[in-house]
Amino acid sequence: MTFTPAANDIFQHWAVAFVVCNFNVDIGPEVEILYPPNVAFSTQDLAAICFNSFPEQQNTETAEDMRFNFMITNNSPDISLSSPQAPHGSPTNFYGCCIFRQEFDHTMKRSFNQRTLVLISHHPFLSFYNRLLHQMTESGVISDPTTLEAAYSQILAWPSPSLGRHELPFLGTMITLDIAPHVAFPLQGLPGPLPLISDTPTSIYAYEPLGSWDSIMPFMPCITDLYILYEKLLLCEPIIVIAKSPQLCSDAISSLIDLIRPIPYAGEIKPYMTMQSEFRSIGIDGGTPRPFIIGITNPFLLKRVLSSTEDKDRVRPHILYLQNYDGPVPTRRHHSLHRKSSRNVLLDLPGGGIDAHPPARRFLKSDPHFVSQVESLLKLDVQTHALGPLIRRHFAELTAQFLAPLNRYLATSVSPTAISPGSGTFRYASFSVHGFIKDVGKHGTSVKMRGQGPMQRHRARDGLYESFCQSANFYSWLEMKTSLEREASAGLLGAGSAASSAAVPS
């Protein structure tokens, strides 16, 4: 097959390349196949793709394929990423989606082969790309050049990504893909109480989370930790997820950032990092300090990240340790940090203990009815696939309740020019945190706050909203809101069923 720059440019509207990485026992991970072969990755980026595409700690008895994803910075100067229309993707980041496979081979030094098929793109269409990789690997070898060529040829024939619904032929099937106007649209991929006839089982939403809470919750320290994590995500505070596998890490992070939608998490999102990863982007090893949520499997890497943040004037990252525990998932953490059965310590991590800092939920009160529902579902012997929709809808409603006072306040300060149809302008008057807090005190919020009495709950309410308005998340949400309102006013969101039916998220 002839590879031309023009063909590659068309292909790169969807994906940059397929990479097959092989773990060489003597030299470590290496590139076995790059497809198309003329993609101008730098040596640095190829090394980063290789190291991020393998589990750092792998059970030799694992027989099933493992899927996960990672994100690295584009350090290939000859790869200039752009899209002819929305969604435009990232000009600076590579998103890697992986299928890792381990196969027994008695001729090898370690008695098995380890290979990973990676799809690199500048779009975070993680669930969609995972579906493509699954189809490419479900019935054959993971490094089949014929399959790579067929996949490349079909993607080359697709129209460029655009907002709305796409019917895309791929390896003998038709995949339905819906692309929302923004990555932070809530409840993507979750059918309503009465699913539409058009919502076929093959339909995929571009930004829907990879993981499911049905498979994540059994590894959680307790149920009410969801509120601790939600609050820290809401305020754009750093979080480290440590788990046994990159799949559990990346699934958890994908599901966590989904909790606060339509608020875009404004920190760095790194679903899986290894000892060889580049840490400057999260403010470590010389980078500019900024919030982050990262996934790791190596306890020595956890120590490295924590020690790097302790010497600076930074918020200590919250550690979410996902592991196999004895017994059912409790509703809340035990008061004793040193009780062996407690799930709130990291004392059993290989490489030594980590100081246990009991997490504090400063503002939000948990909903006892919701916690009871989650507890009942977790006690069932089989996965019901009901936990995911329950948790996603609960926190989507909580986020909508949280944003309601902000939307109400902003509605009183909209520039008159925003009303002009088709003008393409939409802006807000200068936002005053003091004025907004005063407005919340007058009109209130339906979000339940912690506190023994009205005064304590009012202080918690004001503290939560003031902290949010001073966080990077407030600006990421306001930027999304104004840009979508501007595009809607100019009639730019009407192309495609998914875009035209989606309201601007509140």
Instruction: Write the CATH number for 248.
Output: 3.40.50
Q: Assess if residue 291 is contained within a domain.
A: yes
- Give the pLDDT confidence score for residue 58 in this predicted structure: 66
Q: Which residues contact 450 (CB under 8 A, 6 or more apart)?
A: 361, 362, 363, 364, 365, 456, 457, 460
Please identify, among 380, 408, 434, the residue that sits at the C-terminal boundary of a domain.
380
> Which pLDDT score is estimated for 63?
73
pLDDT of residue 33: 96
**Same domain assignment for residues 223 and 146:** no
Query: 396 and 322, same structural domain?
Result: no
Give the model's pLDDT for residue 499. 43
Same domain? For 311 and 439 the reply is no
Which own/partner pairs from 285-292 qualify as long-range (CB within 8 Å, at least 24 positions apart)? 289/314, 290/472, 291/236, 291/237, 291/238, 291/266, 291/267, 291/315, 291/472, 292/238, 292/239, 292/267, 292/268, 292/317
- pLDDT at position 339: 47
The tens place of each residue's pLDDT in the chain, 506 residues long, gives 667 878 888 999 999 999 999 987 777 789 999 999 999 999 999 999 999 999 987 666 667 899 999 999 999 999 988 777 889 899 899 999 999 998 877 666 666 788 999 999 999 999 999 999 999 998 888 989 999 999 999 999 999 999 999 999 999 999 999 999 999 999 998 876 554 444 445 589 999 999 899 999 999 999 999 999 999 999 999 999 999 999 999 999 999 999 999 999 999 999 999 998 988 888 777 777 889 999 999 988 888 888 887 765 677 899 999 988 878 899 987 654 444 445 555 545 655 566 556 566 689 999 999 999 999 999 987 777 899 999 999 999 999 999 999 999 998 865 645 444 445 556 676 788 999 999 999 999 999 999 999 999 999 999 999 999 999 999 999 999 988 988 887 777 654 444 433 445 76
Nearest CA to 446 among 404, 499, 390, 491? 404
Look at residue 261 and tell me if it is in a domain: yes
Do residue 124 and residue 46 come from a single domain? yes
Whole-number pLDDT of residue 354: 66
**Is residue 193 a part of any domain in this protein?**
no
User: Does residue 412 share a domain with residue 290?
Assistant: no
The reply to whether 19 and 85 lie within a common domain is: yes
Tell whether 177 is covered by a domain.
no
Q: Considering the entire predicted model, what is its pTM?
A: 0.90
| 205 assigned to some structural domain | no
**Same domain, yes or no, for 222 and 359?**
yes
Do 351 and 428 reside in the same domain of the chain?
no
CA-derived radius of gyration, the chain = 23
The identity of residue 281, as a single letter, is S
Q: Residue 127 sits in a domain of what CATH number?
A: 3.30.450.200
Are residues 226 and 132 part of one domain? no
405 and 280 share one domain = no
**Residue 219 belongs to some domain of the structure:** yes
**What pLDDT is recorded for position 500?**
39
Burial class (CB in 10 A: 0-12, 13-18, 19+), 264: buried
Domain end, chosen from 347, 380, 413, is at 380
Q: Is the residue at 195 inside a domain?
A: no
Question: Do 220 and 95 fall into the same domain?
Answer: no
Domain presence at residue 148 = yes
Hey, what are 347's tokens? 């004392």
DSSP notation for 201-214: TTEEETT--SS-HH
What is the C-alpha separation between 207 and 257, in angstroms, rounded? 11
pLDDT at 17: 97
Which range marks the domain in which residue 60 is found? 5-155
Q: What is the pLDDT of residue 340?
A: 46
Copy the structure tokens of residue 348.
Answer: 């059993």
In terms of Cα–Cα distance, which of 258, 209, 216, 268 is closest to 234?
258
DSSP state of 46: H
442 in the same domain as 347: no
The tally of domains found in the chain comes to 3
Query: Which of 358, 380, 402 is at the close of a domain?
Result: 380
